[in-house]
Amino acid sequence: MAILLHKESKVIVQGITGRDGSFHTREMVAYGTQVVGGVTPGKGGQNLDGIPIFDTVRGAVDATGADISVIFVPPAFSTEALYEAIDGGVGLVICITEGVPANDMIGVYDIAKAKGVRLIGPNCPGLISPGKSKVGILPGQIHTPGRVGVISRSGTLTYEVVHTLTARGIGQSTCIGIGGDPIVGSNYLDLLALFQEDDETDAVVLIGEIGGTDEEEAAEWIRKNFSKPVVSFIAGQTAPPGKRMGHAGAIIAGGKGTAEDKMAALEKAGVPVAKIPSEIGPLMQEALGG
């Protein structure tokens, strides 16, 4: 099984006619994703490789029955695209766009929660259920079907960790990049709860980074509520306080958000913490009893 994304999922692409949108639409289709439509205002009635294009999300959903929208819209128009997706009738919105204003995300987050729409991102690589479907920019060729879930704040680290898992014969159920911004639609707790209920996920890899307290909160939730093995890695272990490392949310501020604090919280919760990404494979093999 998988969480959130399945072979039957129907996807629309907001920004399908742009450079990134069109490229990754073709990559998703090649992987086997059911991309049933695209949205670009003013280009309704056109198509991309036979995929119909609509002027609005609502029009695309009504015509295709899509249940997922993925956003490749430039930052200047991303907030409007997010609100349109949330109001458009899909149950899951994935925002790949980097540079969405944090202040705007406060309102977007609240509206999505109020309407019962799950949001992944922004500033994320998306998600993939290997062998079934992928939505976003994750490279499908490094993933393999299996029973280990992956949740990550870092896109490129997701790829590295998945590659090490696959190289050791450890397949994945669903891999999700939640995004590295200060405010994202879904956090570790939201997704750990889904993996806890998934009877075909046996363990989870949690990839964190400096900044904020999400990893500490996840560690406490795992200790109290999660019954499956978890292996972790925290990026930014050598980052100096006050310097942002890569992501908008990856900054140690006010004495909080250090790698040491996060690693200590996870270890206290019984979660092994890899010192370098290449240790994740062996630690997961050990956690799975092999």
d(CA 117, CA 4) in angstroms, rounded, equals 12
**Which H or E run includes 36?**
strand 34-39
d(CA 139, CA 128) in angstroms, rounded, equals 9
Nearest to residue 170, comparing CAs of 161, 179, 183? 161
Nearest to residue 117, comparing CAs of 95, 78, 89? 89
Total residue count of the chain as it appears in this document: 290
d(CA 155, CA 158) in angstroms, rounded, equals 5
d(CA 93, CA 209) in angstroms, rounded, equals 24
Catalytic status, residue 247: yes
d(CA 177, CA 195) in angstroms, rounded, equals 14
Q: What is the DSSP letter of 253?
A: B
Q: What is the DSSP letter of 269?
A: T
Q: What is the DSSP letter of 256?
A: B
Cis amide prior to 122 (ω within 30 degrees): yes
From 6, 143, 163, 247, the catalytic residue: 247
The catalytic residue positions are: 247
